[in-house]
Structure 1
Amino acid sequence: MHSSFHTHRYQPDRLATDEYLLDMKQGDVTGDGIPDQIYLIGHKPDGPSGIFADHITLVIQDGYSQQRTVVPLQNNAGYNAVLLLGDFDKNQIPDILISIDSGGSGGYGIFYIYSFAHHALHKLFDSDSYNQQYKFRVQYEDMYKVSVSSAQLDLLFIIDISSKGAAYLATYYNENGMLKQPLQGEVLAIAALNPIITAENRASFDLQALQRIIGPTNADTLGYVENLLTWNGNRFDSSRLNVAIIGTPLQSHF
């Protein structure tokens, strides 16, 4: 379902003294044929040269009326805040994708997609809702295997970790390949949200959500969950989910 927001409209001549322009794009996001201006603004505690920003806010300036619609973001602090315009809901009107790096050790991202077609604001995607919706179980198994499962999607993946090295395997496994004790990993929150075109004759985008699979520690990357999301008319659904593993040097197997 679309989520509607009531937004405050104003017409400032310039940014406040403690606000900085983080990114700007131009495109017809209302569908009236007139290009609009889309801004990300935010406060930089370390001044104009700082790379961290908080109070990050989306501002949409209508190309015809010049009125501005201000959209506060729930998660509004991070690094490298950028905009991308593209049609994600298949109505031939560009939507607004906001991407922000959280900056934490987990490499999480903050993502929002808004539609402003016909001057009506709807939230199409947010990373918090995605993280709540897609849950995974990561379980170490005997004989140097790790299972990654989604009960929601009825999917199971098996990762072979036998090439992780003798010291690593000896930490968790006995010499006969049996686990010393039950052990779990984790699929972390969404790290990247990549627009992709899956059909040559289609101008709209699908989304690929990327999540890191880890072992008992954050530094122990086992692979990645790649979730292809397609708009179904009301929301983004998973149309294909894969697990990608990290390659090892070929010579180590000979």
Structure 2
Amino acid sequence: MANNTEKVILDDASGNIIDEHSKDNVILVGVHPSTDSEYADNIKLILNPKSNSPISIDFNYGGYNMQLFIGDFTGDNKSEIMVRGGFGGSGGFEIGVIYKYEDNKLIEIFNQNKFNEENSCSAKYVNNYKVHVNCGTKKYSIDLSSRPKQYLNEIYSSDGSVKPYYEPYVDAPSAIYPIKQVYNNYYDLLIQQRIVGIVNADTLGIIQTLGNLENSKFQILSKGLLFLSYLDAENRKNSKKSKK
């Protein structure tokens, strides 16, 4: 099959991006290399101000289901442009890039790669069926003792000591949610990162980071561990099967 090179509109939106009372159009265009896939690359972000010339920039990521979200992230009563999408296949990574209009330019103030680099976390199996997670000053512990014996035998010896075969890790962001609290007039970001065990589908827990972009710089408001026990996950799975 020949590669498709036709540019199409991936999404469009509008908001008060230039100033507090403007109504400006935003278009995301790109190419679907395969016509039977939602994957897009060669993406451009175009801002069409009502009273100025269009501003176009290259978007340096390709992904699935690319879309726009318009909202005030900086608290200046103007909207910023968030470009969202997914990549990484079954890994479920998320693209999240935010641009601010300033001096007739679109300036990037957040992207998922920079967040991951500046907020790195590590994980480690430790003796007696535990996983320790280190996120700088934040440290967490996950108890694996309720997991099936067959699973634990992959990681631990009979005396509870760690075998040298596997090492857990904290993945890149799998979800980046714009959220708005009722008493704020701007959006925060809720970012989730999976803690991965012996295989990619083995989610040991999720690191959640809540932050904002006031003054156009990302700052962390809170960070914590979201953990769904193995038994709870199995019960939910069985409950879904019984409803079918």
Which bracket does the TM-score occupy, shorter chain normalised?
Answer: 0.7 to 0.9
Deviation digits for residues 5-28 of structure 1 (CA, Å, limit 9, x no counterpart): xxxxxxxxxxxx811000000111
Question: Which residue pairs with 2:139 in the alignment?
Answer: 156
Query: 2:115 aligns to what SS in structure 1?
Result: helix
Partner residue of 1:172 out of 134, 152, 155: 155
Q: How far does residue 118 in structure 1 lie from its aligned partner after superposition?
A: 5.9
**C-alpha contact 2:66 2:85 (8 A) present in aligned 1:** yes
Q: Out of 166, 189, 205, which is 1:223 matched to?
A: 205
Instruction: Please provide the CA RMSD for this pair.
Output: 2.1
What are structure 1's unaligned runs of at least 5 residues?
1-16
* Cα separation, partners in 2 of 1:54 and 1:251, compared to 1, 3 Å: closer
| 2:94 corresponds to 1:109 | yes
Question: What corresponds to 1:23 in structure 2?
Answer: 11
Counterpart in 2 of 1:247? 229
User: In the superposition, relative to structure 1, how do residues 28 and 242 fare at CA in structure 2: closer, same or farther (>3 Å)?
Assistant: same
* More helix, by proportion: 2
Instruction: Please list, as runs of the form range in 1=range in 2, the aligned pairs for 1:45-60 lying within 5 A after superposition.
Output: 45-47=33-35, 50-60=37-47
CA contact (8 A) 2:195 2:204 kept: yes
Segments of structure 2 that go 5 or more residues without pairing to the other structure are 236-244
Q: Residue 42 of structure 1 aligns to which amino acid in structure 2?
A: G
SS of match in other structure, 1:171 = helix
Is 1:143 the counterpart of 2:131? The answer is: no
SS at match of 1:23: strand
Cα offset for 1:64? 1.9
Distance 1:31 1:182, change over 3 A: same
Residue in 2 that maps onto 1:7: none
Q: Count matched residues.
A: 231
Letter of the 1:68 partner, please give it: P
Q: Which moved more, 1:101-110 or 1:206-215?
A: 101-110
* Per-residue CA distance 1:128-153 (angstroms, 9 max, x = gap): 111111111100011111011023xx
Percent of counterpart pairs with the same letter? 28
Q: Deviations over 1:26-47 (max 9, x none)?
A: 1111016231110110011223
Match of 1:72 in 2: 58
CA deviation after TM superposition for structure 1 residue 232, in Å: 4.3
Given residue 202 of structure 1, which amino acid in structure 2 is its aligned partner? Answer: N
Contact 2:157–2:163 (CA<8 Å) still a contact in 1?
yes
Q: What is the TM-score of this pair, normalised by structure 2?
A: 0.87
Q: 1:171 to 1:137 in 2, by over 3 A?
A: same
For 1:211 and 1:61, the matched residues in 2 are separated by 34
